Chains A and B, each alone.
Chain A
């Protein structure tokens, strides 16, 4: 286990000594701030309309704008999920591909490190960097509590906000696991990033495909889609089925990575 931690520590220290991590942080914060501002504006507009004519006269889909939690944060989490889909492949791509290209994979494979320690160490490092990237988004609800006003009770419903935030982190962890497996298959970081994206995006949007197929398959496709699993979580519904689903995807990806590292011994 000490070896796994050493590998994770090395991974993080390399992320933070290169400009890479900072570029990704900046991208993450810039994109989500952009959308956050947009959401705030729509929220304000809906509130103004409601004050003028009353909530009853407004179209029902504006109902979400009654409070900041549903009107801004839940929607922001939805956007952060999509941004993560684009950002995570760039963080996971180097995990194994870089070691192979740099010939340091030979070092890892000829020192007494078990493949399981290597995979866990790498994944812990990956989790660290994705948590740091996504962790920054907690700033937005904090800003709202500091500056927001509410006529009834607290500005934000923190349980809902935190559960959504947990869903965002869980989604990041899933992207990293899938990305790490793909990174272990190739020497090229670009190929790893592109392939990860090509796997994650359709998987996220599988629900669109479900419309065209017959029943038992349809519920299966619906079940497999990332976005249908995430939907409840980000709205603050603790959905155990979804948790099991994501932990299974992560575990399965780690097992595949382990196989792929072991396969080196048989090449």
Chain B
């Protein structure tokens, strides 16, 4: 069953178009890697999928609900990490996660347990009572990830989740994402290519708002490479060099 369905999605700002005619779908439990150079329209697509921005044309559906017609139903099913983690610098990690859990309507009785669950997953247990503005960039990013996991939504949309992390933290996040696969449907954007080969089954590459490739990684490598071991990096550069 397709959890996310995107049809001919277009976003224009006056005469400039950020994305143009995107069509793709993600099945339940699948991980889609969303690739593209900076400014290609990855974040815009994600903002539309989460109901933050309206599309100019086309439709996007999450779990069968149109993001524009039934935004609340969609928002109930999505955990979203924007490109800048949406944190309140004055709050403690615990206070912040409690607040987001309330926004997501996590029932009062299970709230504490849920906050503890996601902070365990994101590796925040030791810093729960620290004020967010004093945290390192890596920890801030992880608080952002924890926030997206709250309420265990069926769909996760993560905009560059490994941004700002050091190599070992990055490995932690990758293994966390692999753990989440199967239980959640995931869209993951990044411009760090090895990340994609390690975590995703399918990739979607966009360049200047247009889709240039959309396939399973194995097939992409066999189509674009003469040699056996052509890397995703070479394909990416070739496709986005237009």
Contacts and interface: CB of A to CB of B under 8 A. Distances in A.
Interface stretch (A43-51, A63-71, A109-117, A131-139): A109-117
Interface residues of B, number: 30
Contacts of B100: 107, 111
A58 interface: no
Contacts of A18: 90
Contacts of A111: 75, 100, 103-104
A3 B98 CA distance: 12
B102 A266 contact: no
Interface string B26-51: 00000000000000000000010011
Interface string B78-102: 1010101011111100010001101
Given A6-B99, A103-B84, A107-B147, A112 B54 contact: no
Contacts of B99: 6, 10
Interface string B52-73: 1110000000000000100110
A201 interface: no
B218 interface: no
Contacts, number: 73
Contact of A104 (B75, B76, B88, B104): B88
Given A3-B103, A3-B105, A18-B90, A110 B54 contact: no
A102 interface: yes
B91 A108 contact: no
Interface string B203-220: 000000000000000000
Nearest to A20: B90
A14 B71 CA distance: 28
Interface in A248-267: 264-267
Given A3-B103, A6-B103, A112 B76 contact: yes
8 contacts: A10-B88, A10-B99, A14-B91, A102-B87, A106-B80, A107-B86, A107-B103, A266-B54
Given A2-B102, A2-B108, A111-B103, 12 more contacts: A10-B99, A13-B95, A18-B90, A105-B86, A107-B82, A110-B78, A112-B72, A112-B76, A113-B103, A265-B51, A265-B54, A267-B53
